[in-house]
Amino acid sequence: MYRRLYAQCDLDVQITAQSALLVQGTQAPEGAGTFYRARDPTDGRERFCIPATTLKGVWRSAAERILRSFEPWLACDPFEVKKGDSQSCSKRLEGSLAADSPQAYGAMCPVCRLFGSTAHAGLLQLQDAWAMGNPRPEPQTGIAIDRFTGGVKYGALYSYEPLPAGTRFTTHVTVHNVEFWQLGLLALVSREMSQGRVRIGSGTRKGLGHVEVVWTRAEFRYPKELYEQASVGQAGVLVSAQALAVDGDRVNYPDAEPWLLPGLRSQPANDWADALWTSFWVTENDLSRLQIDCVERALAPKLRLGRAGFAYGAPAQTGGG
Ligand SMILES: [Zn+2]
């Protein structure tokens, strides 16, 4: 979409099971009932893992649900091919705009801008979530219900092996060229999951799949030169990619993106490559301020305008700063 990187946000995220949890991954054979395992690339050991694709799917559908509750247009239906308000962005934009161009980005619904479609890769990148420590599955037995009669299938017990409540996973989320309303949306998704309204994995109707999602650290990185031009007189403030975007990458929202959390201290550069970037770490109390500000000052004003809140104007041809 953008031709260069203006702002990157990296989130460290901790996911803690509040109920038993069973994530079988995408390749699970029917009825296997065991938690997905994969080889952790950092140490080559096999570990329990929530695949990034599973997590992304759950986050995406939660984000769709949140936005649709304000206005149906705000999230397309990825499977709807017919023309109409819910037609998928992939179908709607097919062949009409260059893939991954700023125009394609602006023409998509908010969900596709963040999570991607066939016309655009999406700004969000999730890593697999690895289990910490060495959790032990707790085998359980269920009774198979006949789908046709609704009765119990004769002799049909089955077993499954969820991980117990308390199991912790860590993962890492990157948002390239982040805009604050997107972090606001992710904050709301995290809250929906923590409160048990959005669950993950199998057996969610049996009470499985409730997880708490907590951001433990956010790091923002900006190209130093652009950041220093844009933030004159405002030391240690977080800005969105749009605040630094130049030329054809700058697009006109109806409202300006806010600048958040002034007074942060930038991270010292460790080597010559770091020196080209200005970076900030947001932790502890500042993290909840960040989430609240992203919801109240960036997402809410857009939602109040409905469709218009997310509409891009013509690209502004300003030369930076
Ligand atoms: Zn869409």
Domain count, the chain: 1
Q: Smallest Cα–Cα separation from 280: which of 289, 291, 269?
A: 269
> Is residue 321 in a domain?
no
Question: What is the H or E stretch that residue 270 is in?
Answer: none
What are 281's strand-pairing partners? 219
Q: Is residue 46 assigned to a domain?
A: yes
Distance 77 CA to ligand 1 centre (A): 7
SS3 246: coil
pLDDT score, position 319: 39
Distance 53 CA to ligand 1 centre (A): 18
* Apex 59 CA angle, 54 and 61, nearest 5: 95
Q: What is the pLDDT of residue 98?
A: 74
| Cα(107) to centroid(ligand 1), Å | 9
Considering the domain boundaries, does residue 315 fall inside one?
A: no
How many Cα atoms within 13 Å fall on the side-chain side of residue 10?
Answer: 10
For residue 116, the CA-to-ligand 1 centroid distance in Å is: 8
Q: Is the pLDDT of residue 222 over 70?
A: yes
How many A from CA of 117 to the centre of ligand 1?
7
Return the higher-pLDDT residue of 150 and 271. 271
Question: pLDDT tens digit string along 112-155?
Answer: 999 998 878 899 999 999 999 999 999 988 877 776 777 776 66
For the cut 50, the answer to whether the pLDDT of residue 231 exceeds it is yes
- Banded pLDDT at 321 (limits 50, 70, 90): very low
Q: What is the pLDDT of residue 78?
A: 84
Question: 3-state secondary structure string, the chain?
Answer: CCCCCCCEEEEEEEEEECCCECCCCCCCCCCCCECCEEECCCCCCEEEEECHHHHHHHHHHHHHHHHHCCCHHHCCCCCCCCCCCCCCHHHHCCCCCCCCCHHHHHHCCHHHHHHCECCECCCEEECCEEECCCCCCCCEEEEEECCCCCCEEEEEEEEEECECCCCEEEEEEEEECCCHHHHHHHHHHHHHHHCCCCCCCCCHHHCCCCEEEEEEEEEEEEEHHHHHHHCCCCCCCECCHHHHCCHHHCCCCCCCCCCECCCCCECCCCCCCHHHEEEEEECHHHHHHHHHHHHHHHHHHHHHHHHHHHCCCCCCCCCCC
Q: Using one digit for the tens of pLDDT, what is the confidence trace for 172-202?
A: 999 999 999 999 999 999 999 999 999 999 9
Give residue 116's pLDDT: 93
- Cβ–Cβ under 8 Å, residues 13 and 218: no
State the amino acid at position 195 in one-letter form.
Q
Domain span at 120: 8-132+167-310
Domain for residue 106, yes or no? Answer: yes
In a domain, 214, yes or no: yes
pLDDT (0 to 100) of residue 235: 79
- Please give the distance, rounded to the nearest whole angstrom, from the Cα atom of residue 114 to the centre of ligand 1: 9
Q: What is the dihedral of CA 180, 296, 288, 197, to 10 degrees?
A: -100
C-alpha of residue 202 to centroid of ligand 1, in Å: 26
Instruction: Return the number of other C-beta atoms located less than 10 Å from residue 8's C-beta.
Output: 19
Q: How far apart are CA 120 and CA 114, in angstroms?
A: 9
State both tokens at 237. 């403030």
Contact 11, 185 (CB under 8 A): no
Which residue is associated with the tokens 């397309």?
76
Q: If you measure from the C-alpha of residue 285 to the centroid of ligand 1, how many angstroms do you get, rounded to a whole number?
A: 34
Name residues whose C-beta falls within 8 Å of residue 165's C-beta, 6 or more positions apart in sequence.
17, 18, 19, 20, 21
Residue 182 resides in a domain: yes
**Model confidence at 317, in pLDDT bands (50, 70, 90)?**
very low
Q: Which residues pair with 117 in a beta bridge?
A: 120
Type of residue found at 54? T
Structure tokens at 182: 């997107």
Report how far ligand 1's centroid is from the alpha carbon of 109 (Å). Answer: 4
Do residues 178 and 240 make contact, with C-beta atoms less than 8 angstroms apart? yes
Instruction: Tell how far the Cα of 73 is from the centroid of ligand 1, in angstroms.
Output: 9
Q: Quote the pLDDT of residue 143.
A: 79
Q: For residue 318, how far is its CA from the centre of ligand 1 (angstroms)? A: 28
Per-residue model confidence as pLDDT tens digits over 54-92: 999 999 999 999 999 988 889 998 888 888 878 899 888
What pLDDT, on the 0 to 100 scale, is given for residue 183?
Answer: 98
Q: Give this prediction's pTM.
A: 0.91
For residue 112, report the distance from its CA to the centre of ligand 1, in Å: 4
